Structure 1
């Protein structure tokens, strides 16, 4: 008789309880796992390593599936490829990717003539005349476990490259300057900067930002090339911890624009680009609750500013003012129209492009300076995403556009301004015989608890039938914060789901921006619960309409969408077979109570201020996932993915959450990348493996792992 013995199931790490009291507004919360916050403590690192080992052991049976999915992603991707060149100055700029290389190679080639606006058709197998490699990410990343570029800009005279490098994942960049004539770096090197540095139009100066202890960009600096960094001039400092700074030059090169913004209020200053040491002058003084964004144009020989704002205009209106007297009475050029959310204006010498949302879709329109008329650009698909894509020149006859949908791979067009013609320059190649006609997309609507109609986007493979023909495995994604909209975009990795019969869906819940500013307002601060209930209502709609069943439904969300995942897990665990939470914001109340943490103070406009308001404290405490883990709940399977060096959502939040879930007997796993940031690992092959890991787990939950 053969003795068959089953291997003992791996034991989850036991997280020691070390209770710490947190008291606010007369309420005391006893937190047993707050000690995990100290990542300098060797015991914390040991614990995270133990969690990773446990997760790896628990998912070891998926190793083959992970490799299959990774190879599917890799096999559909043209690994050696080139981007469509973008014209700037006397050069075409483009990127190369090479098979086997993690990072892109940044290149340029000279124009054939000053009138050349047709990008060269490049082939990976053909040598490009005059090509110059200006930066090879693989060379820069050599010897580093993590590598990310921040700022990346070429000077107007095409001789210098400015770039920022992060090798930790903490989003602090070291600025470097390369002489493109020699290939050598200049002595100028500036550590601990934020992303977003720029050359001045004359190439003499660098404008950059530094961050405070809370990782908030708070100071704008001016560095003159060839001088010590210690001599740099402070152009602007923002002391209010609710505001982040940004800085950059207008496309016209007329002004340096310094912008301060909280979640609900903004303020901008102009600095003459010809005299960068001159005092900044305010466009409009900040007014609580008023957001605005301005851009420079020249109309009838006059310097003007077009300002997009929401003063008494919920979905924003566009006005024009003289740049010399921006506080004078403005001229309304595009009035407020409820349901048409104006998003931004990009000015060029002879025209502008206006971006806006209507009926749940982002749209583009050509804006005429003389008449203020908007000519909307038309696209054929019912669901799509389109936007400007790399237009550094001030007076181009063509505009570069990016376009995609759930079924159409990323596409590059040149839009001929004079004729309205869209010239197809490139469509992302998808290897293996991909045919968009094999897939379909649609939008359906769920009725929320208060009668509001919530849009749901769906994409599926036709050969499995319509998604409501019979219950199918379904992957439901959600976000719902910061007025961020989840656009209909193509994903190579998603094909591994669709080809296994999985339906992919996006719940466009309140707190996002899909349906205009009110949609956002109705899912933030003291109405945040609408985000969670909308997602649950979408799940119930999909179940009730026969698209799926609870045992074939997995939810996913990341960052603030991870808060959504934690909340729905507590509220309706029975609706889901699994929940995938990426860098999840699941200990929201603890974080928002601590103004010393990165991002906290600026976040009060989004979530409320629980430190000073008992009502906000009580409301946030009612939904913060970590504090509402239920002993009586039968939780679905949960995978939480985080990164040790994440400065936006600290690793400690999912670490504590998983420990609390385990106390209830939940099957919860924690995967912590030990060298990465908020965006996960760096390098395309690493990113593919990370996504393959998550999808393999998801397929296992949905019961399609063997497919």
Structure 2
């Protein structure tokens, strides 16, 4: 399956099925919350009744720092907070945590209650659906009381289990652990994976011999992607040591010195290595936010030179998969020099980049192609229309298409199996006669279906079990909010039946609106605790995502970015005017680039919201995008703009949350961050809080909670993550009277 990721690691990524749905795994984005578990010490009865003495909010000293930008002298009194090696900075961060602890000590009983409720909806002992790779079935499983997955395989369903990697053992002496790109060689003898023990998304390569358990390599740093060739030659991409931009492809024959294959010099481009689903070709993709180029070589001839499928051309993107000597190319290059903004699919002979392309699936102005999964006799295309996915199945023998539609009004359907660890294939093998997809909604736990490609008959092979949950108690709706320029924004809504639409219900509104990443209406068991307390939950599918096609993204980036904020504000007013909630009951939340959204709307309309949670928020956009040495900066000029250009500078500064803080009343605000975050520096929310404390005219809480051990994705263990969710929900509930 191939996927498009608008991320810090790459703008367009290739895995085994093609998917152009901008599934952001890095970039200025937060990890979606997942149910986690464990008995917590900090929420025990003793902690819940301990009195914490109230302390005054820390006031960061102002220290002169100035720069000249476009003939303007910029003063930033809190620039010094970005130096985490400075003992004064660490002291200030600890003071912020102590202040937050003092003001939230009374919430400990509510945190405990929320945690226990969430824990009660988690199946602590669970096993993922197995994925067939070569001669083995691969899967992960969790054990009660353990934070991390155990990677396993069997030769068949009834065979003895073989444990490949127990992440709990790796984490025994670590405060943070994340495993990425877990990839088994064709012969099943070796596994290569990348490990991060700080949270800064700087992974080290580990190669393990599965026959002996011996570690063969563990010294290669800054790994971003990897794949095996047929003969166990390993290809991997490393990232720049300073900017963390993936830019260099290497070839490694185990036991020998790695050989550099190619380096991408353009600082707006990132790179990734992968392999086609049929295993025939190694793919090396380089991509910016709007342009891509793919190189390839025969996986059976790893020493061959790379060949280019289609040379890069500004503004043109493509992804490829392979079948029977043809590239199947998803591209925004249309006919007669026109853009196919929602993409089309063409075929192109391997080895003949100048050959005539043949149309496979034409461009559709109302449907956005976001994926293709190829099989020996069939193809499955995923497309999004009006914010909802459907599938098209093509029979190569009959040359007929059939549609796979879904009856619900609000749902998420995606090709492949949702794995809790990253295997090379997330769907059925190339020669299979069936495909798998996941289906979920705001009230329906994730189910995995397997459908016969020829007949369309299907069965559920796994449904996520949620203890103590009754879906019949809840309901969902999709409404369309008109905004100021005449566009209508879709809103996905879920609430417990019996909640009245009288303007009195508390409502939590969530938004993102960046990178072409569309927020999906997925089930999240941690939300049930809010719904059971009468909170309405709303996802605002604002411009900047891809919910309504690629144009929806284009209309919410660069010099159109203010549409994102206006959409959110106007959607909030729609909800108030239609009595879903009221200003004094409206809570808002966003993370990473979504934190920029919440920071911007809090400046623009602070009167509209009761409280706001900004998670790992990108609030200091001007300083970050000005500094080319920081991770993400140059790669994201095509998302936000290059502030070294005066027109972009003026536009970005007009909405930058940090730069537009002003002396006025703000809603209650909670900011959460982590000290090792390499995507959004911890100093951004820290500076934001320091500056706002000196300006705001209200007495509402302004809190900063910083994890001193993690990175952009927060705590790594599933139990620790659930503790964080319990804290955040308790704080939000406290702002509306709980």
Structure 2 length normalisation: TM-score? 0.89
- Aligned residue number for residue 329 of structure 2: 307
Residue 711 of structure 2 is aligned to residue 677 of structure 1: yes
Query: Contact 2:52–2:105 at 8 Å: present in 1 too?
Result: no
1:656 aligned partner:
687
Matched, 1:14 2:36: no
- Aligned-residue CA RMSD (Å): 1.6
Partner of 1:636: 667
1:515 aligned to 532, 537, 548, which one?
548
What is the CA-CA distance between 1:519 and the residue it aligns to? 0.7
> Partner residue of 2:275?
249
- The 2-side partners of 1:7 and 1:608 are apart by 45
SS of 1:624's partner is coil
Q: 2:445 aligns with which of 403, 409, 415?
A: 409
Superposed, 1:19-168 pairs within 5 Å as 19-111=64-156, 120=157, 129-168=159-198
Q: Which blocks of at least 5 consecutive residues in structure 2 are unaligned?
A: 1-50, 334-338, 418-425
Task: Assess, with a 3 A threshold, how the Cα gap between structure 1 residues 288 and 180 changes in structure 2: closer, same or farther.
Answer: same
Between stretches 194-203 and 482-491, larger displacement belongs to 194-203
- Corresponding residue for 2:313? 287
Q: Deviations over 1:275-331 (max 9, x none)?
A: 222221111111111111111111xxxx01011111221111111111111232211
Measure the CA separation in 2 of the matches of 1:271 and 1:469: 63
Give me the whole-angstrom Cα distance separating, in 2, the residues matched to 1:273 and 1:86. 22
2:723 matched residue in structure 1: 689
C-alpha displacement of 1:372: 5.8
Q: Identify the residue that residue 430 of structure 2 maps to in structure 1.
A: 394
For the 8 Å contact 2:378–2:453, the answer to whether it is kept is no
Deviations 1:107-144 (A, max 9, x none): 11222xxxxxxxx5xxxxxxx64111111110111110
Number of residue pairs aligned between Structure 1 and Structure 2:
671
The Cα shift of 1:566 comes to 0.5
* Aligned residues of 2:285 and 2:295 also touching (Cα < 8 A): yes
Match runs of 1:302-451 below 5 Å: 303-311=325-333, 312-369=339-396, 373-387=400-414, 388-389=416-417, 390-391=426-427, 393-432=429-468, 434-451=469-486
Q: 2:4 matched to which residue of 1?
A: none
- Tell me the secondary structure at the aligned position of residue 627 of structure 1: coil
Match of 1:174 in 2: 204
1:200-231 residue CA offsets vs partner (Å, 9 max, x unmatched) = 2232434343334201000011111122xxx2
Aligned residue number for residue 228 of structure 2: 199
Matched ranges for 1:537-616 at <5 A = 537-611=570-644, 613-616=645-648
Task: Tell me, in whole angstroms, the C-alpha distance in 2 between the residues paired with 1:372 and 1:651.
Answer: 54
Could you give the per-residue CA deviations for residues 357-378 of structure 1, whole angstroms, max 9, x where no partner exists? 1111122222334566442222
Q: Give, in angstroms, the shift of residue 661 of structure 1.
A: 1.2
Q: Offset at 1:620?
A: 0.6
Where 1:316 maps in the other structure, the secondary structure is strand
C-alpha distance in 2 between matches for 1:40 and 1:375: 60
Distance of 2:705 and 2:207 partners within structure 1: 37
Using CA pairs below 8 Å that are at least 6 residues apart, which structure has the higher relative contact order? 2
- Contact 1:266–1:290 (Cα < 8 Å) also in 2: yes
Give distance in 2, aligned partners of 1:189 and 1:129: 31
**Contact 2:237–2:250 (CA<8 Å) still a contact in 1?**
yes
Q: Which deviates more from structure 2 when the two are superposed, residues 313-322 or residues 86-95? A: 86-95
Residues 275 and 24 (structure 1), Cα distance of their counterparts in 2 relative to 1, 3 Å cut:
same
Distance across 1 between alignment mates of 2:52 and 2:381: 62
Q: Deviations over 1:131-186 (max 9, x none)?
A: 1111111011111000000120111112222121110111111221222222x223
Match of 1:278 among 300, 304, 311: 304
State the shift of 1:690 in Å: 0.7
Separation in 2, partners of 1:76, 1:100: 15
Of residues 482, 491, 512, the one that matches 2:524 is 491
**Aligned position for 2:217:** 188
Confirm or deny: 8 A CA contact 1:209 1:246 kept in the other structure: no
8 Å CA contact 1:251, 1:392 repeated in 2: no
Counterparts of 1:76 and 1:676, CA distance in 2: 26
SS in 2 for 1:531: helix
Contact 1:333 1:372 in 2 (8 A): no
Residue 9 of structure 1 deviates from its aligned partner by 4.3
CA distance in 2, matches of 1:496, 1:520: 32
Q: CA deviation at 1:634?
A: 0.8
Partner residue in 2 for 1:504 = 537
Q: Is the 8 A contact 1:220 1:247 kept in 2?
A: yes
Distance 2:617 2:524 in 1: 22
How far the C-alpha of 1:83 sits from its partner, in A, is 1.4
Could you tell me whether the CA contact under 8 Å between 2:235 and 2:249 is conserved in 1? no
Instruction: Report the Cα distance in structure 2 between the residues aligned to 1:219 and 1:8, rounded to whole angstroms.
Output: 53
CA distance in 2, matches of 1:369, 1:32: 64
